Chains A and B, each alone.
Chain A
Amino acid sequence: MKTTYREATRAAMRDAMQRDDRVFLMGEDVGEYGGCFAVSLGLLEEFGPERIRDTPLSEAGFVGAGIGAALGGMRPIVEIMTVNFSLLALDQIMNNAATISHMSGGQFNVPIVIRMTTGAGRQLAAQHSHSLEGWYAHIPGLRILTPATLADARGMLWTALEDPDPVLIFEHGSLYNMAGDLDDDAGAVDIHAAAVRRPGADVSLITYGGTLQTVLDAADQLADEGIDAEVLDLRTLRPLDDAAILATVAKTHRAVVVDEGWRSGSISAEISARITEAAFFDLDAPVGRVCSAEVPTPYARHLELAAVPSAERVVAAARQAVGAHG
C-alpha cells in the first residue's frame, strides 16, 4: 500500500493502542491539535482524551509522569515535539528512567517509549533542528532507535513497547512526508540489528535516520563512477550492532560514517573508534566521517544546507577512502 512515514508512525500507534489497553499517548498537542507534525491526527477521536492525553508545556513533568506510569504498570508513549525540548526533561530521562532499574537492584523497570522529532532541514534554526540522539546513546539503561524507513516507522514502536526498559525513538523531521510502498501486513520489526540497505563491495557507508536517504543518493552517484558502496543503516544507536559494523568493514575494508550530529564527541566518533579497535587490520584506508558543521543550526537555507551532511560530501569522502589505496 502507498503510505508515508507520518502515516506509518500513526498506524503503529493505532495498532499499539488497539493491542494493549495499557498503552496511551501523552504529549504537547497530541490530541486536539492532532500532533505538532500531524502524526497523531485523528487518534483523539478514535481513542478519547484519556488515552490521547494533551499535556501542558511541562516536559519534565509529563516525561516524569510517563516514567511513573510505566512504573505503575502502564505502557506510555510520550511524545516530545523536538529533541531540543527534550533537554527540559533530561533530568527525568537520565536520572530516573535510565537509572531506576540499576539503582533498585533490578526490582523495578521502566517500560516507557519516548518519541521525538530530531534533525535539521526545515529552516527551523538553532532551537528546533539539532541531532542529539548521539548524546542519548551515551547513556546506559536506554535503548535508542532511529527509524529511517517506512517499515521501521511502522514496526519499531510495538517492539519498543514490548521492551521492559526505556526506549527513545528519534524521528527525523524531514522523513514525515517520505512516501512509498509498505506491505499491507507490515508489523513489528526487530530493534537490535543494523540492516544493509544496499549491498556493495568497495566501501561501507554507515549511517542512520535522516541521512540514510542522503547516503543512498550518494551511493547511486558513486555507482555511476564505478564505486560499489555498501550502505549500512544502524537503526539502533544503543546498543550498537557491532557485528554488523565489523562485518561490512571486513567485506569492503573501507568505511565512511555519516551522522547529522556534530563531529566532536559524536556517535560517528564512537563507531570510528570501535572499527579501529576491532578491525584495524581489515582497513585499507582511514575511517572517514561526514558530520554536521560545528555551528548551531542556522536559519538561512543555504547555510543550513552547508551545515548538514550532503550527498556530495559523502561522495567525496567515499572517493577519498577508495582512492587512498585505489
Chain B
Amino acid sequence: MTGTAAPAFADPKHARHLLRQMLRVRRLEEKCVQLYSEAKIRGFLHVYIGEEAVATGVMATLQPEDAVLATYREHGHALLRGVAAGAILAEMYGHQEGCCRGRGGSMHLFDAATRFYGGNAIVAGGLPLAVGLALADKLAGRRRVTACFFGEGAVAEGEFHESLNLAALWQLPVLFCCENNLYAMGTALRRSESQTDIALKAAAYEIPAWAVDGMDVLAVEEAARRATDAVRAGGGPHFLELRTYRFRAHSMFDPERYRDKAEVAEWLERDPIDHLRSALEAAGQLRKKDWDAIQREVDAEVQAAVDFAEAGTPEPTDELTRFVYSERSAP
C-alpha cells in the first residue's frame, strides 16, 4: 500500500448537492458577465464568483420561514433561496417578468414568497432591517431566524455597530454573516480598519462570533448550522466572519489596480467548487458521469433562464408610478 485513501464524505449525496448549488451560482454569474458584455444587462453588475461557498453553506441551514437579506452582490443568494433563475435574469433585463418587474435590477432582487428582503445597495443598510425583522419575530413569539449577509466593508459603517448593539441588547434572532472578501471595492481591509479581526468586533458586543474558511462549503455549513440552531433556540444573535475572495472585479467597471495578480492567483487555487469536486472525486464519491450530469443540468437551467429573460417584455411606461405607494390596504 502506498499513500492513503482520501477521506470519504459522511453524506456524499449532500456534498454533491452543495457542489451543484455552487455550480448553479457560478454558471449563472458567468452568464451574467457574458450578457453584460453583450449589453443585455446594464447598470452596475457585481458577481459572486469565488464566494459561492459562503451563501451556499449558510443557506443550506435555513428554513422556509426564515428571512434573508443580502447586498448588491446577491444574485447567488436569491437563486439559492429559491428565486427562479429566469426571474432573476429577467429582472436584470429590466423586464416585467423579473422578480421585481424590472424596477430593482441586479442590485435589488426581492422575493416575498421566499422572504428575500433584497438586494440592498447601501453598504450596511440592510443590517437595521434585519434587526427589525428579528424584533418582529421576537415580539410575535415566532421562532424564526433572520440571516443578514454583508461585506467586510460594512464594518466601517455606523449602521453595522448600531445594529449589532441593538441585536445583542435585545437578544434578537439574527444571524450576521460577514462575507469578508478583503476588499471594500478597492480598499483593502488593512487600509480601512484599525482592528482587522472582524469576529473580535462582534464579540465586543457580546455576540458569539467565529471566523470560518469561506472557501470550504462544508466548513461554512457546519458553522452556520451551529449558529442557526443557537439563534433559533433563543440564544440571541450570532455572527460568522466568512473569509473568502472575489475572483472577479468589484463590478464591470473595475480595472483592479488595487490588488496584484499573484494574490488573485493564490486565491484561485482555493476555488470552492474545484476544492469540493476534487475531494469528492478523490474519495470516489463523484464519478465522471455524476459531474457531467450536474454540469448538464445546471447549463440547461441557465439556458432556460436566458430564454425566459429574452422572451420577457418591458412593462408599459404608463405603469411607471405604480408601487410608489401600496396598491392594497395594509394586511
Contact = CB atoms under 8 A, between A and B. Distances in A.
Interface of A: 24, 50, 55-56, 58, 60-76, 91-92, 95-96, 100-109, 111, 140-141, 143, 162-165
A242 to B, nearest CB: 16
A107 B104 CA distance: 12
B166 A61 contact: yes
A50 B139 contact: yes
B165 A58 contact: yes
A76 B128 CA distance: 14
A59 to B, nearest CB: 8
Nearest to A64: B128
A100 B100 CA distance: 10
Contacts of A102: 103, 323-324
Interface in B189-219: none
A24 B326 contact: no
B115 to A, nearest CB: 9
22 contacts: A61-B128, A62-B128, A64-B131, A65-B163, A68-B130, A68-B135, A71-B129, A71-B136, A72-B134, A74-B135, A92-B125, A101-B326, A102-B323, A103-B104, A103-B119, A105-B104, A106-B322, A106-B323, A107-B110, A107-B112, A141-B325, A164-B329
Nearest to B325: A165
A108 B108 CA distance: 13
Contact of B139 (A66, A74, A105, A141): A74
A64 B129 contact: yes
A75 B140 CA distance: 12
B103 A69 contact: no
A72 B133 contact: yes
A102 B111 CA distance: 13
B101 interface: yes
Contacts, number: 158
Contacts of A103: 100, 103-104, 108, 110, 118-119
B39 interface: no
Given A62-B128, A72-B135, 9 more contacts: A58-B166, A64-B132, A65-B166, A67-B128, A72-B140, A96-B120, A96-B122, A107-B110, A107-B111
B99 interface: yes
A106 B129 contact: no
Interface string B94-112: 0000111111100010111
A74 B130 CA distance: 14
Nearest to A109: B326
Given A141-B324, A141-B325, A162-B330, A104 B130 contact: no
B127 interface: yes
A66 B134 CA distance: 11
A73 B136 contact: yes
A107 B166 contact: no
Nearest to A75: B330
A62 to B, nearest CB: 7
A125 to B, nearest CB: 24
A91 B125 contact: yes
A104 B128 contact: no
B137 interface: yes
Contacts of A72: 67, 132-137, 140
Interface in B123-163: 125, 127-137, 139-140, 158-159, 162-163
Contacts of A101: 323-326
B72 to A, nearest CB: 12
B253 to A, nearest CB: 21
A105 B102 CA distance: 8
Contact of B132 (A58, A70, A111, A165): A70
Contacts of A162: 329-330
B257 interface: no
B328 interface: yes
Contacts of A163: 330
A68 B133 contact: yes
Given A60-B158, A74-B136, A65 B131 contact: yes
A62 B159 CA distance: 10
Max count, chain A CB within 10 A of own CB: residue among B119, B330, B331: B330
A56 B169 contact: yes
A72 B132 CA distance: 7
Contact of A65 (B122, B135, B327, B330): B135
Contacts of A50: 139
Contacts of A56: 162, 165-166, 169
B46 to A, nearest CB: 16
B93 to A, nearest CB: 14
B245 interface: no
Contact of A106 (B133, B139, B326): B326
Nearest to A239: B325
Nearest to B121: A95
B159 A60 contact: yes
B162 to A, nearest CB: 3
A229 B300 CA distance: 73
B323 A91 contact: no
Contact of B117 (A73, A105, A106, A108): A108
A109 B323 CA distance: 9
A196 B326 CA distance: 29
A113 to B, nearest CB: 11
A107 B100 contact: yes
Contacts of A75: 330
